[in-house]
A and B are shown apart, each in its own frame.
Chain A
Amino acid sequence: GQNIDQPTEMTATEGAIVQINCTYQTSGFNGLFWYQQHAGEAPTFLSYNVLDGLEEKGRFSSFLSRSKGYSYLLLKELQMKDSASYLCAVSRRPHMLTFGGGTRLMVKP
């Protein structure tokens, strides 16, 4: 089976840093994606990792360790608008995205 695990909910303070972890066990690996989804809206792409290491894009960074089946999304200088669900998704083969359950992040003043 395919297992992609993330914490269900996290709370953080405006201006702080938060790390959202994702562990996966899948048959096949063709890359790992992070998406942001605000309530009632479509998911929007944040980052992609296919090689081990850290990818940085502004306030967002994503890390991948393929040997450990582990990724994290790091959000810096949190803003209220960052309150959303964050979805870890593994591509098991081209076109085939399997999403984790998502982490609902609440940013408090």
Chain B
Amino acid sequence: DTEVTQTPKHLVMGMTNKKSLKCEQHMGHRAMYWYKQKAKKPPELMFVYSYEKLSINESVPSRFSPECPNSSLLNLHLHALQPEDSALYLCASSQDGGQGRYEQYFGPGTRLTVT
């Protein structure tokens, strides 16, 4: 099983709403990631969890709040977003191999529209 799943597939939310994006993997990977991808742009790293602990936060605004309840699950809680936050949000996972090779496996993404 080399699959990363994400729900929902599409999400439309108002600027005052609170919503959550969910990500799951069953590959035994101990590193999980959130990326943001705008149209015709590359993915931009937002957060990294390693062994269920937040290890990298790329100066993401606090209206995005990540959570890693266990080694298979990753959530992204959204609150008071802006229209410019509309994008494809990608989750990824990888082995936590230190200096070794650790390709990231991406989920299909959640397409978020903020109105």
Interface residues of A (CB under 8 A from B): 30-31, 33, 41-45, 48, 50, 87, 89, 94-102
Do B48 and A95 touch across chains, with their CB atoms under 8 A apart?
yes
Query: In the docked arrangement, what's the CA distance between A95 and B16, Å?
Result: 33
Is B64 interfacial (CB 8 A cutoff)? no
Is B17 interfacial (CB 8 A cutoff)? no
Q: In residues 51-71 of chain B, which contact A (Cβ within 8 Å)?
A: 55-56
Q: How many residues of B contact A (CB 8 A)?
A: 27
Q: A96-B56, A102-B42 are in contact. List 5 more A-B contacts (CB 8 A).
A: A43-B90, A48-B103, A95-B55, A96-B48, A98-B45
Query: In the docked arrangement, what's the CA distance between A41 and B97, Å?
Result: 26
Q: Which of A43, A45, A94, A95 contacts B43 (CB 8 A)?
A: A43
Closest chain B residue to A89 by CB distance?
A: B42
Q: Which of B55, B104, B108 contacts A97 (CB 8 A)?
A: B104
**In the assembled complex, how far is the CB of residue B78 from the closest CB belonging to chain A, in whole angstroms?**
20
> Given contacts A41-B108, A101-B42, are A94 and B98 in contact (CB under 8 A)?
yes
Do B102 and A45 touch across chains, with their CB atoms under 8 A apart?
no
Which residues from chain A contact B102 at a C-beta distance below 8 Å?
A: 94-95
Do B105 and A45 touch across chains, with their CB atoms under 8 A apart?
yes
Which residues from chain A contact B109 at a C-beta distance below 8 Å?
A: 42
Q: In residues 78-115 of chain B, which contact A (Cβ within 8 Å)?
A: 90, 94, 96-99, 101-109
Query: In the docked arrangement, what's the CA distance between A30 and B94, Å?
Result: 15
In the assembled complex, 8 residue pairs joining A and B whose CB atoms fall closer than 8 Å, in A order, are A42-B4, A42-B107, A95-B48, A95-B50, A95-B102, A99-B42, A99-B44, A102-B41
Which residues from chain B contact A48 at a C-beta distance below 8 Å?
A: 101, 103
Query: In the docked arrangement, what's the CA distance between A12 and B44, Å?
Result: 28
**In the assembled complex, how far is the CB of residue A83 from the closest CB belonging to chain B, in whole angstroms?**
15
Is B21 interfacial (CB 8 A cutoff)? no
Which residues from chain A contact B105 at a C-beta distance below 8 Å?
A: 45
